[in-house]
Amino acid sequence: MTMDNATFFAGYNHLYHFHKATLLFHYYEHPDKYFSDVLNPLYSPLERESFFFAKDEVYFKKAVALDLRSTYFHCIETLFNLIGVFKREAECYRATGKMPNAFQALTEYPDKQLDEEIARYGSNSSELDWMLEVVEGSDWTYGRHIFFFGLTPPDDDLEGYLRQAETSLQAMKLGLSLLAADLVDKGEYNSYKHGLRVLDAMRTFFILNKETKEMYTVDATNTLTFPKKRRKSVEIATTYVDVVRDYRMCVLGARFIQMMINQRRIAYNKKSIDVEQVPISMFTEKSIRWHAERHVSNPITTIELEDFERMTGIKVSLDRDSLDDESKSSH
């Protein structure tokens, strides 16, 4: 079973990630609203007590941060899945004069290919240079087909529009590369999907310099620890969580998705959608970097070796083989 493009784009929830991320971020910033507006009306005091930590604001904010981060990763994956489909769409349309079935193409897109593309794009924004290349035998670029589908400005404004679109696509290349970079390693994302194997277990990193005998502490309060499966082993990884950045980047990815889907929704349903003017999103490098700006610092301080031993109860010998990597960590 399949569905035609008009039906698919009319029914596609292109604002899913935007609405979910915005709702989560709102309750992260205002947890009291969750307890007063959501939890209390739905559950009796006895039921609320049965959840033990249900009223604990700290636990609630941790849960929201996890959900927002998982939503962000899903947004990235969805975004590049759609980009891959619409890149093929441009080539197919030029070769055959027909648009392929988007629902089928999205369903059948190879997972391995998607992972490889995300890895390439995240390693270097130049891997997205094809967006500015003209589709062979046409007069439009891949980027214009993917993100500005069906837009035909008046002839007297065509040159200015094309110039704006190209400038925006240059900035979007940077944004797409930054988004992909956050999902190059899917170990954390897989930990959310399979068993929620994500813990906020780390508090402080201790790093010892054997040459100077200096001990450094790194605040790891805003971190998550998760297992990463390798072929023959399991590694334990720790990453910083930046809720503000996760939200802003998720919104950026959602805006890219909205551009692709909304233009096609209008183009395929012109008879049922009465639109005289279509709002067009344009981006600059400055606006992209605003979304990607980090809001969690990693403060590093120096402590005396004796203080480390007193704090942790661990006796350190600079001659031990276990210190050959010049670093240690502690919970």
299-305 average pLDDT score: 51
Residue of 113, 253, 82 whose CA lies nearest to 181: 253
Structure tokens given for 228: 């990463």
Backbone phi, psi, residue 41, to 5°: -70, -25
Between 176 and 191, the more confident residue is: 176
Task: Report the C-alpha gap between 33 and 325 in whole angstroms.
Answer: 47
CA angle 286, 291, 294 (to 5 degrees): 105
> In whole angstroms, how far apart are CA 273 and each of 12, 104, 303?
15, 24, 65
> In whole angstroms, how far apart are CA 92 and each of 8, 88, 95?
18, 6, 5
Between 23 and 322, the more confident residue is: 23
Backbone phi, psi, residue 238, to 5°: -130, 135
329 pLDDT band (50/70/90 cuts)?
Answer: very low
121 pLDDT band (50/70/90 cuts)?
Answer: very high
**Mean per-residue pLDDT over the chain, rounded:** 83
Residue 37's CB is within 10 A of a number of other CB atoms, namely: 12
Could you tell me if 94 and 137 are in contact, meaning their C-beta atoms sit under 8 angstroms apart?
Answer: yes
> In whole angstroms, how far apart are CA 308 and each of 9, 27, 204, 205, 300?
59, 38, 11, 11, 14
238-253 average pLDDT score: 92
Residues in Cβ contact with 67 at an 8 Å cutoff, skipping those fewer than 6 apart = 24
pLDDT at 69: 95
pLDDT at 311 over 60: no
Residues in Cβ contact with 218 at an 8 Å cutoff, skipping those fewer than 6 apart = 204, 205, 206, 207, 298, 299, 300
Domain range summary for the chain, segments of one domain joined by +: 5-194+241-292, 204-238+296-330
pLDDT at 303 over 60: no
154 pLDDT band (50/70/90 cuts)?
Answer: low
pTM of the predicted structure, to 2 decimals: 0.82
Query: What is the per-residue DSSP string for 2-19?
Result: ---HHHHHHH--TTHHHH
The pLDDT tens digits of the residues spanning 74-93 come to 999 999 999 999 999 999 98
pLDDT at 147 over 90: yes
Between 323 and 150, the more confident residue is: 150
Task: Report the C-alpha gap between 316 and 289 in whole angstroms.
Answer: 43
Could you tell me if 132 and 141 are in contact, meaning their C-beta atoms sit under 8 angstroms apart?
Answer: yes
41-62 average pLDDT score: 77
pLDDT at 3 over 70: yes
